[in-house]
């Protein structure tokens, strides 16, 4: 039952389409019909401006953090097997990412999961999160491509996880590889635009650079 509970709650938590609801409630638009057509923080910065962009970014990060933290409060239901807490955290994490990418509350058209993944790693391993975030920021500040920062950080993420984990946790390495592949797949259009030199540059003021 604990697995079913985690799967359902985490997926539904991820399914709250922050950018979509912000656009519809406060601006009477579907953000997926504007800008890059993505229901994420980056497109919110671009379409609705920096204030709403930060709101969406913080909430999407929080979704991942909350989902990965749920197992920490279920100790009365633990079965006692090896790495149980981490495994439960990763189950919740995977489901919240799927919910964000394929949200039931937004016709399964969600974001790309980068901010939500950051929230997950902040909850599970702070060192890994900070290194990944620093790498993303370096690439972004250098190139002004949000997508390129996310792509490079996701590629390096499994290696960061391997060296940053303080104990033998192969399941975390496997998880990081799967998440990396999900992020790369969700950025496939961005990769094509980057290769053609057509990707938009921007900054967190919400204006194209």
- Tally Cβ neighbours within 10 Å of residue 26: 11
In this prediction, residue 81 carries a pLDDT of 67
Domain membership flag for residue 49: yes
Domain membership flag for residue 168: yes
Domain membership flag for residue 159: yes
Instruction: Please tell me the distance from the alpha carbon of residue 200 to that of residue 99, in angstroms, as a whole number.
Output: 26
Domain membership flag for residue 209: no
Domain membership flag for residue 6: yes
In this prediction, residue 162 carries a pLDDT of 83
30-47 per-position pLDDT tens digit: 999 998 889 999 899 989
Q: How many domains does one find in the chain? A: 1
Determine the structural domain holding residue 165 and report its residue range: 2-196
In this prediction, residue 171 carries a pLDDT of 81
81-106 per-position pLDDT tens digit: 667 888 899 999 999 999 999 999 99
Print the SS3 string covering the chain: CHHHHHHHHHHHHHCCCHHHHHHHHHHCCCHHHCCCCCCCHHHHHHHHCHHHHHHHHHHHHHHHHHHHHHHHHCHHHCCCCCCHHHHHHHHHHHHHHHHHHCCHHHCCCCCCCHHHHHHHHHHHCHHHHHHHHHHHHHHHHHHCCHHHHHHHHHHHHHHHHHHHCCCCCHHHHHHHHHHHHHHHHHCHHHHHHHHHCCCCCECCCCCEC
Domain membership flag for residue 186: yes
In this prediction, residue 203 carries a pLDDT of 61
Domain membership flag for residue 207: no
In this prediction, residue 177 carries a pLDDT of 92
Domain membership flag for residue 188: yes
Sign of CA dihedral 93, 94, 96, 97: positive
In this prediction, residue 103 carries a pLDDT of 96
User: pLDDT below 50 — which residues of the chain?
Assistant: 206-209
CA atoms within 13 A on the CB side of 13: 27
The residue among 102, 97, 129 whose CA lies nearest residue 113 is 97
């Amino acid at each position: 039952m604990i697995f079913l509970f985690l799967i359902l709650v985490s997926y539904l938590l991820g399914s709250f389409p922050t950018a979509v609801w912000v656009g519809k409630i406060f601006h009477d638009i579907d953000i997926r019909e504007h800008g890059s057509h993505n229901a994420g923080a980056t497109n919110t910065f671009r379409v609705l401006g920096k204030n709403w962009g930060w709101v969406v970014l913080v909430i999407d990060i929080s979704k991942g953090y909350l989902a990965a933290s749920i197992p920490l409060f279920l100790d009365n239901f633990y079965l006692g097997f090896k790495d149980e807490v981490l495994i439960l955290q990763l189950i919740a994490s995977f489901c919240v990412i799927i919910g964000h990418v394929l949200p039931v509350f937004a016709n399964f058209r969600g974001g790309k999961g980068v901010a939500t993944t950051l929230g997950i790693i902040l909850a599970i391993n702070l060192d890994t999160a900070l290194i990944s975030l620093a790498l993303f920021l370096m690439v972004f500040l250098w190139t002004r491509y949000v997508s390129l920062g996310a792509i490079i950080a996701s590629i390096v993420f499994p290696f960061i996880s391997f060296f940053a984990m303080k104990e033998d946790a192969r399941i975390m390495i496997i998880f990081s590889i799967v998440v990396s592949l999900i992020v790369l797949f969700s950025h496939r259009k961005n990769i094509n635009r980057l290769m053609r030199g057509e990707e938009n540059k921007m900054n967190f003021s919400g204006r194209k650079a």
